[in-house]
Copies of this chain bind each other. A is one copy, B any other.
Amino acid sequence: MSGPAPAVILVRPQLGVNIGACARAMLNFGLTDLRIVAPRDGWPNPDAGPAASGADSVLANARVFETTADACAGLSLIFATTMRERDLTRRVVTPLQAATEFHGLATQGGLMFGPERTGLLTEDLAVAHAILTIPVNPDFGSLNLAQAVVVTAYEWYRQSLAITDDVLVNHDGPAPHEELEGLIGAVDAQLAANGYYNPVQGRADAARLIMRNLLTRPEFTAGEVRTLRGIVRGLSRKRHE
């Protein structure tokens, strides 16, 4: 089915709130292996917990390493996330491609993210197999750390579900034919009685067809048809009746 969930490697992160937000984003999309390289403010960081909003298990199981290379132990395919072009002859993939490649592996891969302001150094990139670049507005490309994690994790999770992107139908399906016919008949009778149809030859038939299409196209459920019959009665009721 799908490959193991990739590890997230945060290289020299600065703010505890960002580490917590990354943990939350990871767990939202089924990632649990958090590896932290040389966090600026040490570890554990009291700001991380509140920002994780319940993803405490990810923080509790996080491992801290001194170097980026150490943090990559046991991982196979590692993508380094960067916004800028580098003087490196690495291939560059999108989040979608990276997720596809992870799912094609039998082994665990990794997603590497740099510090908030400066991004990854050339030495960090050297540990990665390829570059992952998130497509962003070229005029405003500064992506928050946790939000970069969100995008890559979302792509992995989406593919792990093998989401079809078919519309998920959340309703009962259309009413039985005769119930819709009952509604159309009621509308038609009331419109005819009220002189709605143009008497010009053929125009009444065209108007009836438009009305029928209008009431058929939405695939009203049986419950909706019942409500509509009530509304039609309500609309056509004489005042002070």
* Partner-B contacts on A (CB < 8 A): 21, 24-25, 27-30, 53-55, 85, 88-94, 96-97, 100, 131, 133-137, 140-144, 146-147, 150-151, 154, 157-158, 161, 163, 165, 167-172, 187, 190-191, 193-196, 210-211, 214, 217-221, 223-224, 227-228, 230-232, 234-239, 241
Q: Give the chain B neighbours of A88 by CB distance below 8 A.
A: 170
List 27 A-B residue pairs with CB atoms under 8 Å apart, sorted by A's residue number.
Answer: A24-B147, A25-B144, A53-B144, A54-B140, A85-B170, A89-B171, A89-B221, A89-B223, A90-B171, A91-B167, A91-B168, A92-B168, A96-B165, A136-B157, A146-B147, A151-B151, A187-B235, A191-B234, A194-B238, A194-B239, A195-B241, A196-B230, A196-B231, A196-B237, A214-B231, A217-B218, A217-B224
The reply to whether A214 and B239 contact each other, CB–CB distance below 8 Å, is no
Minimum distance in angstroms from A80 CB to a CB of chain B: 12
The reply to whether B158 and A135 contact each other, CB–CB distance below 8 Å, is yes
Q: Give the chain B neighbours of A232 by CB distance below 8 A.
A: 235
Q: Give the chain B neighbours of A219 by CB distance below 8 A.
A: 218
The reply to whether B211 and A231 contact each other, CB–CB distance below 8 Å, is yes
Closest to A53 in B: B142
Q: Which of B29, B92, B141, B170 contacts A92 (CB 8 A)?
A: B170
**Bound: A84/B161 CA distance, A:** 18
The reply to whether B169 and A91 contact each other, CB–CB distance below 8 Å, is yes
Q: How many copies does the complex hold?
A: 2
Q: Give the chain B neighbours of A163 by CB distance below 8 A.
A: 94, 96, 135
The reply to whether B194 and A237 contact each other, CB–CB distance below 8 Å, is yes
**Bound: A93/B166 CA distance, A:** 8
Q: Give the chain B neighbours of A161 by CB distance below 8 A.
A: 135
**Bound: A169/B90 CA distance, A:** 8
Minimum distance in angstroms from A214 CB to a CB of chain B: 6
Closest to A136 in B: B28
**Bound: A130/B65 CA distance, A:** 46
**Bound: A143/B190 CA distance, A:** 50
Q: Give the chain B neighbours of A136 by CB distance below 8 A.
A: 28-29, 157
The reply to whether B235 and A191 contact each other, CB–CB distance below 8 Å, is yes
